[in-house]
Amino acid sequence: MDSLSSDLVRRNGSKRSCEACRKSKTKCDHTLPICGRCARKSILCFYDPAPMTRKFRPMSIIKSRTQRKTRNSGSPGASWILSPNAQAVVVSTPPLESAGFLGPTSYRSLMTGAVNDGDPGPSDNDRTIYTIDPKQLDLGLRILDFLAANALLLRALVRQVYELGLMPIIPEVLMLPALDILWDVFGNYIVQDESLRLRTVVDIFENSYQPIPITLAMNAGELCSLISGKNVRWEMIGSVITVATVRLIHTPERDVIHIDPQQRRKDKLLTQMLEITDQLLPLSNALPVVNELMVCLKYSQMMLASQRFGDSRIHQYNDHMAQYPGFMNLWRRRCFASVYSTDKTIATTLGRPPSLTRHYCVLKPPLDIDDDIDAPTYEQSLQMIDSNGWNSDGKRRHSTFIRLRFLLSTIREEILELHLGVGSADMERKAHDVLQKLQSLWDSCPSYMKYSPDMWNSQLPALEILVLLYLFVDYLYSMFLLYRLKSQESQKGKPKDLLHVAKTILSTVVVINEHRERAREVRSDFSSIFLPFGLPSAELLAMELLQPSLQGLSHSSLPRAEIIRELTLYTSCLSWIARPGSVNVAFCNKVKARLTRILDQILDPSYAAPGSSNSQSGAGREANWACLELADSDFTIHNLLCSDDGSNWDSGFDLFCGPVF
Q: What sections of 266-374 are H helices per DSSP? A: 266-285, 292-309, 326-350
Q: Under DSSP, is residue 300 helix (H, G, I), strand (E, B) or coil?
A: helix
Q: pLDDT digits over 338-379, tens only? A: 888 988 998 888 888 888 888 888 888 888 888 766 667 777
SS3 460: coil
Give the side-chain half-sphere CA count within 13 A for 515: 20
Secondary structure of 118-152 as H, E, C letters: CCCCCCCCCCEEEEECHHHHHHHHHHHHHHHHCHH
pLDDT digits (tens, 9 = 90+) for 430-454: 899 999 999 999 999 999 999 999 9
The number of C-alpha atoms within 13 Å of 350 and in the hemisphere containing its C-beta is 20
Distance CA 7, CA 85 (A): 7
Beta bridge partners of 89: 132
Is 157 within 8 Å of 123 (Cβ atoms)? no
CA distance 161 to 175: 11
Calpha distance 430→426 (Å, rounded): 6
pTM: 0.62
Distance CA 175, CA 237 (A): 11
Q: Is the pLDDT of residue 498 over 70?
A: yes
**∠ at Cα 435 (656, 478), nearest 5°?**
15
Highest mean pLDDT among 16-30, 169-183, 464-478: 464-478
User: DSSP secondary-structure letter at 385?
Assistant: B
Secondary structure class of 100 (helix, strand, coil): coil
Reported as a pLDDT band with limits 50, 70 and 90, residue 649 is: very low
Which CATH superfamily hosts domain 14-52? Zn(2)-C6 fungal-type DNA-binding domain (4.10.240.10)
Spatial distance between the Cα atoms of 37 and 643, rounded to a whole number of angstroms: 36
> Residue 273 pLDDT more than 90?
yes
d(CA 571, CA 596): 7
Q: Helices 462-489 & 398-420, crossing angle to 10 degrees?
A: 20
| 3-state SS record for 264-283 | CCHHHHHHHHHHHHHHHHHH
**Which pLDDT value is given to residue 37?**
85
Bridge partners of residue 130, in order along the sequence:
91
Task: Read off the DSSP letter of residue 34.
Answer: S
- The full set of domain ranges for the chain reads 14-52, 88-99+127-311, 326-343+363-406, 426-547+558-607
DSSP 14: P
Q: How far apart are CA 536 and CA 484, in angstroms?
A: 11
How far apart, in whole angstroms, are the C-alpha atoms of residue 574 and residue 579? 11
Burial class (CB in 10 A: 0-12, 13-18, 19+), 547: middle
Which residue type does 106 have? S
For range 511-536, the mean pLDDT: 90
pLDDT digits (tens, 9 = 90+) for 625-639: 343 343 333 333 333
Residue pLDDT, tens place only, 407-423: 999 999 999 999 887 66
Strand partners of residue 81: 62
Whether the predicted pLDDT of 569 surpasses 60: yes
Q: Which helix (H) or strand (E) holds 164?
A: none
Q: Does the N-terminal peptide bond of residue 659 adopt cis geometry, omega within 30 degrees of 0?
A: no
Q: Residues 239-268: what's their mean pLDDT?
A: 91
Q: How far is CA 214 from CA 174, 222, 226, 292, 426, in A?
A: 14, 9, 9, 12, 41
Residue 485 forms beta bridges with which residues? none
The β-bridge partners of 9 are 15
Tell me the Cα Rg of the chain.
Answer: 29
Q: How many CA atoms lie within 13 A of 50 on its CB side?
A: 22
Number of Cβ within 10 Å of residue 194's Cβ equals: 16
Long-range contact list for 132-136, CB < 8 A, 24+ apart? 132/88, 132/89, 132/90, 132/91, 132/202, 132/205, 133/88, 134/49, 134/61, 134/82, 134/86, 134/87, 134/88, 135/82, 136/205, 136/282, 136/283, 136/286
